[in-house]
Amino acid sequence: MLNTVLNTFIFVALPYVALAMLIVVTPYRYYSNRLTWSAYSTQFLERKTLYWGANPWHYGIIPIILAHTLGVVAPGAMKSLLGNVEVLVFLESVGLGLGLFALFGCVVLLLRRVNAPMLKRVTYPADWVLLILLTFQTLTGVYISLFMRWGSQWYLHTAVPYLYSLLYFNPKVEYLADFPLILKLHAAGAFLIVALLPFTKLVHLLYWPLDFLKDPPILYRWRSRPEGKVE
């Protein structure tokens, strides 16, 4: 009974709530208050740790997201590609490395916010929740990659058909109902991140910034105290 309730919540209620939040809240925020759309630049407040956090995070997580997306967009091609054992082992190994790289960057970014008092002033509760969720999501992904091998293969035969069933408003929970708890938590984390996305500064990733290419560069100047002046 408890397992059925958990499956219904994670695989039926949560994805549709997340999708509704994304569709309704995102355009409302975009047209009601554009000033909150972009992420604040914190490089001026702290830059050394940002370098070691942002680069590993972006270079690690973006290929992983693309790989997940390709499995949904082109499942046939991915099945043919992963049908080769050597390719499967190679891609699984690369995926694990990217996951560890992203996890390192995410942990650094989280600790950066914790240890820099000035950053806490521009970090809101939703941002803390999102950072913790991203860290948890990456950690569970690395765990799955380490201890439940060949996830890219069974992902195509379980998660992908389930995601398509969501689009047809006929969620096939049976594809994922017997998954271990860690996999269900990984799925729940993904839906929660999508639901929270419109409420955080990370929503700027949904904007295609082609217009920014036409903008002139912004020049920043530091205001320094004149030499010899005593206050």
Any binding-site annotation on 58?
Answer: yes
Tell me the average pLDDT across 52-71. Answer: 92
**What average pLDDT does the structure give for the chain?**
84
Please list, in sequence order, all residues whose beta carbon lies within 8 angstroms of the beta carbon of residue 195, skipping any fewer than 6 positions away: 14, 17, 18, 21, 22
Question: What's the gap between Cα 115 and its chain centre?
Answer: 22
- For residue 159, the model assigns a pLDDT of 94
pLDDT at 73 over 60: yes
- C-alpha 90/C-alpha 73 separation (Å) is 21
φ/ψ of 37, rounded to 5, equals: -75, -45
- C-alpha 152/C-alpha 67 separation (Å) is 9
- For residue 213, the model assigns a pLDDT of 47
Nearest to 16 by CA among 160, 156, 167: 167
Q: What is the pLDDT of residues 121-175, one digit of tens each?
A: 777 788 889 889 999 999 999 999 999 888 888 899 999 999 999 999 999 999 9
Query: 43-47, 61-65, 143-147, 226-230 — which is least confidently predicted?
Result: 226-230
Any binding-site annotation on 157?
Answer: no
The residue ranking higher by pLDDT, 71 or 202, is 71
Reduced to 3 states (helix: H, G, I; strand: E, B; else coil), residue 199 is helix
Nearest to 51 by CA among 91, 131, 88, 105: 105
Any binding-site annotation on 204?
Answer: yes
Domain covering 2-35+45-204 in this structure, CATH number: 1.20.950.20
pTM of the model: 0.83
